[in-house]
Amino acid sequence: MVTVDTGYAESMTDAPLWSFLGPAGTFTEMALRQVAPLNVELDPCQDVPTALDRVRSRAAEAAVVPMENSVEGGVNATLDNLVASTPLVITAEMAVPITFVLAGRPGTRLEDVTGISTHPHAWAQCRGWVHHNLPEARYVAGTSTSAPAQALANGEEAGYQAVLCNALAAQTYGLEVIAGGVADNPDAVTRFVKVTRPGRVGEPSGADKTTLMVQLPHNHSGALLNMLEQFSARGVNLSRIESRPVGDSLGRYRFSLDIEGHVREERVQAAFIGLHRTCPMVRFLGSYPRLDARPVTVLAGTSDKDFVVARSWVADVLEGRAL
């Protein structure tokens, strides 16, 4: 465990340990705080694979990692890692608004700032604000949004008096907020996920999504249509699809998918059965509540009851009893 001198991660022997994409004070930690128990012990990791391996090795109970390209990381690393190694499953997703504060050591005023540090991706999202408010400020690149904050707090900075970080990082490192709500796009949000070792799948909430990875048997667009028809034939809607080259010499693809619904629902199971029959690889990566809590639209003929009634009708047909 990479501990940080920030007060948490002490020695509470019974506290659950959660790994995450560090360092302390990142947006990822903000996501973790939304779902972790209050007595969680933090385990900030250098990169996504390390955070996930901490769960695989049972060092950590859960990991929180970014699931969309964000100011600090990319989704592909997360998805590839989930599939490539010992199985893990997603059990929750969280959204974090990507807004920044301009922070400095206590007493720093806006007019004192001639240099600013942050991660380059964060800088790209604040350039408009900086151009308008501190047109002369020089940019100093950082390796994350919180690392420059930590350096500034420790007096180890070089060439800057303020950082663009999130509010948690400013608080964590004892910096003072010079300006809040810094973001060229105030609606920017990034999605994070909580990942655990697989176990018995819980009950649906009624507003769930399911993540899976599927490899196609052949390299032609008909194969993709056939795969998608396994969902549409059961009224299962997709909310995300991404092709990934398998990397073998056959030019094949696998697809990372989010679908609306829960693996305990019949229509999702029916689609899974269809995929397992026809695709060389299907990996279940978790059923969990949707961020927006919007109940899944169950099309006519695709409810659990519809499946039960239909199976009963087929049984009647076999016995010569169906109308």
- Among 1, 15, 35, 47, indicate the residue that binds a copy of itself (CB under 8 A): 47
- Among 16, 37, 87, 295, indicate the residue that binds a copy of itself (CB under 8 A): 87
198 binds a copy of itself per the rule CB under 8 A = yes
203 binds a copy of itself per the rule CB under 8 A = no
154 binds a copy of itself per the rule CB under 8 A = no
**Under rule CB under 8 A, which residues in 4-43 are in contact with a copy of itself?**
none
111 binds a copy of itself per the rule CB under 8 A = no
- Among 6, 91, 144, 150, indicate the residue that binds a copy of itself (CB under 8 A): 144
To a copy of itself, the closest distance from the beta carbon of 318 in angstroms equals 5
- Among 180, 247, 293, 295, indicate the residue that binds a copy of itself (CB under 8 A): 247
302 binds a copy of itself per the rule CB under 8 A = yes
Interacting span for a copy of itself (CB under 8 A) from 31-39, 46-54, 104-112, 173-181: 46-54
Question: Toward a copy of itself, which CB reaches closer, 39 or 239?
Answer: 239
- Among 110, 228, 246, 291, indicate the residue that binds a copy of itself (CB under 8 A): 228
Question: Toward a copy of itself, which CB reaches closer, 41 or 93?
Answer: 93
**Under rule CB under 8 A, which residues in 48-67 are in contact with a copy of itself?**
49-50
320 binds a copy of itself per the rule CB under 8 A = yes
183 binds a copy of itself per the rule CB under 8 A = no
Between CA 51 and CA 168 the distance in angstroms is 20
138 binds a copy of itself per the rule CB under 8 A = no
